Amino acid sequence: MDRREFLKAGVAGMALSQFVGSNPFAFASSAPKRYGLIGCGWYGKSALFRLLQIAPVEVVSLCDVDSNMLAEAAEMVAARQASKKKPRTYGDYREMLQKEKLDIVHVATPDHWHALAMIAAVKAGADVYVEKPISVDVVEGQAMLAAARKYKRVVQVNMQRRSTPHLVEARERVIKEGKLGKVAYAEVCCYYHMRARNNPPDETPPEHFNYDMWTGPAPMQPYNALIHPRRWRAYMEYGNGIVGDMCVHMLDMVRWMLDLGWPKSISSSGGILVDKDSRANISDTQVATFDFDECPVTWTHRTWGSSPDPDYPWAAFIYGENGTLKADVHKYEFIPRGRGEKISGKALYEYDKYPEDETEKDLERHVASAIRAHWKNFLEAVETRGRPVSDIEQGYITASSCILANVACKLGRSLAWDPEKGQIVDDAEANRLLRRPYRRPWVHPDPETV
C-alpha cells in the first residue's frame, strides 16, 4: 500500500484515531461553544482560523494589550465566523473572564503570560487550548497542571506535532511496526538563523500598546522594537530562548513517538559564542542531553553557519539498529540499514477543502492540517471529558525538561530530576531556579494553592 492509500484506508483511521476519534464531529450536534482568545497576534489568529474551519464555535470575545492588533483581529473574526458578529474586545483578560461565560479559552500570549491566564481560565470554568511552551519556569507548570486537575478542565497544549498527519503516519508505519528495531539514541536540532541580530534604540512604547500590562510578571525593561510584536523571544526575560521555543516541539515529538516519560537527568552547555553585538540575550549555540532510560536524546541549536543536513535544518533523527528515521514539519524518511524498503511521506495540504489556506497571510501552510486535527482532538476531549493527545501533563514534562536544560547550562553541571517530588535531586541552588521572581503586584502561582 502506498502512502495515499494508507491515509485513505481503514488503517489510517486507526492511526489517526488518537487525535480524530471514532466520530470527530460528535461535538457538532451540541450548541456552539463560546470561545474567547487571549493574545491576538500571529499564532493566536492562525490557530483560531483553523478552528473556525472545522467547528461551529462562536467567538464572543478577544483580549489583547495592543488596541490596534485587537481591533484588526475583531474585524477579521467577524468576516470569518458564521454569525458575522464582531466579538467584544478587552484589554485585560481578567475583565473578559469575569464578564463572559466562556466554554473555551485560547491562551496565545507571549510565554511569560501563559501560566496566569491559563489558571484564571480554568478557575472561570473554561476548557483551555494553550500555546507552547506552557510556562517560563517549572513551578508555573506544576501550578498549571494542578489547576487543570483541581478544576476538572480539559487543557490541550498546542504542541501539534502529535497531530501532524505525516508524523502520525511515520509513528505508525515505522516505529510501531518495529522497522527501526531497537532504538537507543535520538538527535533533535535547529539550525535556523532565527536569533535577532540588530540593536534598536530604547524608545517610548506606542500609545496603542499597554507595555506595563504586556510586561506583567516579567522584569520591567526599557522598551525597544525587539519586544513587540513577535520578536520578544530575543530575551530570556519573556521565555526560554531557542531551547524553549524550538527544542520543545522536537523533544515532545520524540517523546510521543517513542513513548518516553521524564528524562532522569539533563545536561547542557553553550552561550553566545558568535553574535556578541546584538541586544538579544538568548544563546546562539547550545547543546543539551536528555537522558531517558536506554535512549538519550540530544539537542543542538546554532544560529550561525550551515546545517549538517540541509534537508532537515529543524528536525529529529531517531536511530535504530535496523535503520534511521528523519522527521520534520514538512516530511519524513525511513532509511533502512541494508536492502530494506525505504518509506517516506510529506505534509498534508488540504487546499481542496480549505482553499483559504493557500492565501491567508502569515499562515504556516504545512501545519494547517495539523492544527485542525489538534483542535478536533481537543473538542472531542471536551465532549468526553477525556485527556487530549497533548494534555497539560505532557506539556509540563516537555517544557520543564527544556527549562531544566537552561538551568543546567547556567550552572554548568548535570541535573538529576525527581518527577515525584518535582525537584532536582540534592541541589538546593538549582532548585531555587525552578521559580522565577515575579514583578509586583503579580503573584507567582503555587501548585498547593491554585
How high is the pLDDT of residue 16? 42
The DSSP result for 177-202, as a single string, is TTTT-SEEEEEEEE----S----PPP
Nearest 5°: the CA angle 307, 192, 189 is 65
Comma-separated ranges of CATH 3.30.360.10 domains in the chain: 164-349+392-432
What was the pLDDT predicted at 8?
A: 42
Q: What pLDDT was estimated at residue 1?
A: 43
Q: What is the per-residue pLDDT for 4? A: 47
Q: Could you tell me where in the chain the CATH 3.40.50.720 domains are found?
A: 3-161
**Separation in Å, CA 10 to CA 92, 155, 172, 338:** 47, 29, 13, 30
Model pLDDT for residues 37-46, shown as the tens digit of each residue? 999 999 999 9
Per-residue model confidence (pLDDT) at position 294: 87
> Can you tell me which residue has the cell 492565501?
359
Q: How many CB atoms lie under 10 A from the CB of residue 213? A: 13
Q: How does pLDDT run across 270-311, given as a tens digit for each residue? A: 999 999 999 999 999 999 999 998 899 999 999 999 999 999
Counting other chains too, the contacts that 422-425 makes at CB distance below 8 Å and 24 or more residues apart are: 422/138, 422/142, 422/447
Instruction: Determine the Cα–Cα distance for residues 125 and 431; give it in Å rounded to an integer.
Output: 32
Quickly name the fold that domain 164-349+392-432 has. Dihydrodipicolinate Reductase; domain 2 (3.30.360)
Beta-carbon count within 10 A of 402 CB: 27
Low-confidence stretches of the chain (pLDDT < 70) are 1-30
Largest CA distance in the chain: 65
Q: How are the residues of the chain apportioned to helix, strand and coil, as percentages rounded to the nearest 5?
A: 40, 20, 40
CATH, domain 3-161, list 3.40.640.10, 1.10.8.60, 3.40.50.720, 1.20.1090.10: 3.40.50.720
36/41 Cα distance (integer angstroms)? 14
Grid coordinates in use for 16?
Answer: 489517526
Per-position DSSP letters for 364-381, written without gaps between them: -GGGHHHHHHHHHHHHHH
